[in-house]
């Protein structure tokens, strides 16, 4: 039996957080010249165009490994992903007009909890004791980092809209997770072009479109790095870790953003940040050290995704396939015992 090895997936999750985190100070600079809705459109479109070019380069490579393409059965999750990536920023934008920035910063961290709860109840992803502890510590760390002044927090209609935005993003994370076995570059392209065009339409209808070629190009490039590559690594992590566990690693993004802001635009590192970072590291320890090893059952299922025939879960035999490849294949009923994570092959129930 070839054991499930989540180390690479954890690295992907941290890379996703790193690339997204460094976008904070750069976005602050660009927002002095670009409206928020146009910035959102440029970031998503930059992700779409950038990953489109990456896809062209990969197709010409002799060592290109063919990932499974999205199919008609994936359409509900694709549509959900695009719509939620448009709805969430709109809700957040209206929420910002009705409440304080301190409230928004605090409530925005509910996305981690929303992702995990929706993964548990709607998508039947099992969350173990260690992961709940990790989610708790990381949520506390995020709250400490976000809340500078308790008097800034106020509960209002704006706050409700912000909470609805985080729930939308939490649901979007789970929709993306359901697509994680398919070609991640194709997913990012669809997400980038779909959500980017949606944000661009909102920009035009709200009369916030401004033309400045140099800043628009900078925003598009930032979108490729901070959104395109970041989302790509996030999806790769979800493939092996599941939605809730990936979100805990991705929670490092705001801390990386603070450090990047200190390096790029000279913002101060506070005692609050140091305390939050310490709490965050405790939460990360529980996520990394989780051991999930028990007798479990794989029900019979047929699907298509990238795999190899020596991993203990894909023992069907086609002589003309070797190494990693993708094709429609059948998993027979299987009962066995090994270490694993909440990937798409291990969504079984627990007693």
Residue 339: predicted pLDDT: 53
Residue 63 has pLDDT above 60, yes or no: no
217 within some domain: yes
Q: Which long-range contacts (CB under 8 A, 24 or more apart) does 317-326 make?
A: 323/65, 324/65, 325/65, 325/66, 326/66, 326/67, 326/68
Which structural domain, as residue segments, surrounds residue 87?
7-60+67-294
Termini Cα distance of the chain? 24
3-state DSSP call for residue 158?
helix
Residue 79's pLDDT band (cuts 50, 70, 90): very high
Range in 17-26, 33-42, 89-98 the model is least confident about: 89-98
Q: What is the mean pLDDT of the segment spanning 136-146?
A: 75
Residue with structure tokens 């930032």? Answer: 222
Give the separation between CA 119 and CA 347, rounded to whole angstroms.
Answer: 11
Strand 325-331 to 301-307 pairing: antiparallel
321 within some domain: no
**CA quadruple 65, 327, 224, 55: dihedral sign:** positive
201 within some domain: yes
205 within some domain: yes
344 within some domain: no
The rounded Cα 168 to chain-centroid distance in angstroms is 13
For residue range 235-279, list pLDDT tens digits in order: 888 887 777 777 777 777 767 777 777 777 776 677 877 887 788
313 within some domain: no
Give the separation between CA 77 and CA 191, rounded to whole angstroms.
Answer: 11
Of 186, 168, 1, 209, the C-alpha closest to 85 is: 168
Give the separation between CA 21 and CA 226, rounded to whole angstroms.
Answer: 8
341 within some domain: no
262 within some domain: yes
The number of distinct structural domains making up the chain is: 1
What's this model's pTM, rounded to 2 decimal places?
A: 0.69
């Amino acid at each position: 039996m070839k054991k499930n090895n989540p180390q690479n997936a954890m690295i992907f999750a941290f890379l996703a957080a790193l690339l997204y985190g460094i976008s904070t100070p750069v976005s602050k600079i660009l927002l002095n010249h670009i409206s928020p809705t146009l910035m959102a459109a440029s970031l998503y479109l930059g992700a779409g165009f950038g990953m489109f070019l990456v896809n062209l380069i990969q197709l010409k490579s002799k060592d290109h490994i063919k990932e499974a393409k999205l199919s008609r059965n994936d359409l509900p999750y694709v549509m959900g992903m695009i719509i939620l990536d448009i709805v969430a920023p709109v809700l957040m934008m209206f929420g910002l007009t009705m409440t304080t920035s301190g409230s928004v910063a605090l409530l925005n961290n509910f996305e981690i909890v929303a992702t995990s709860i929706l993964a548990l109840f709607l998508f039947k992803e099992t969350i173990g004791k260690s992961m709940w502890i990790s989610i708790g510590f990381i949520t506390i760390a995020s709250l400490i980092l976000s809340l500078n002044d308790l008097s800034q927090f106020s509960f209002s209609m704006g706050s409700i809209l912000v909470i609805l935005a985080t729930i939308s993003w939490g649901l979007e994370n789970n929709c993306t997770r359901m697509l994680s076995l398919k070609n991640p570059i194709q997913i990012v392209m669809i997400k980038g072009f779909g959500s980017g065009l949606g944000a661009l339409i909102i920009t035009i209808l709200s009369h916030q479109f401004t033309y400045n070629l140099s800043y628009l190009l900078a925003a598009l490039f930032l979108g490729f790095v901070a959104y395109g590559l970041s989302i790509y690594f996030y999806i790769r992590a979800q493939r092996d870790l599941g939605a809730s566990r990936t979100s805990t690693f991705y929670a490092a993004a705001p801390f990386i953003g603070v450090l990047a802001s200190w390096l790029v635009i000279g913002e101060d590192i506070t005692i609050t940040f140091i305390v939050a970072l310490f709490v965050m590291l405790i939460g990360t320890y529980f996520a990394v050290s989780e051991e999930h090893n028990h007798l479990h059952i794989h029900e019979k299922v047929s699907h298509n995704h990238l795999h190899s025939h020596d991993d203990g879960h894909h023992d069907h035999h086609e002589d003309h396939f070797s190494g990693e490849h993708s094709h429609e294949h059948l998993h027979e009923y299987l009962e066995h015992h090994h270490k694993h994570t909440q990937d798409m092959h291990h969504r079984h129930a627990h007693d």
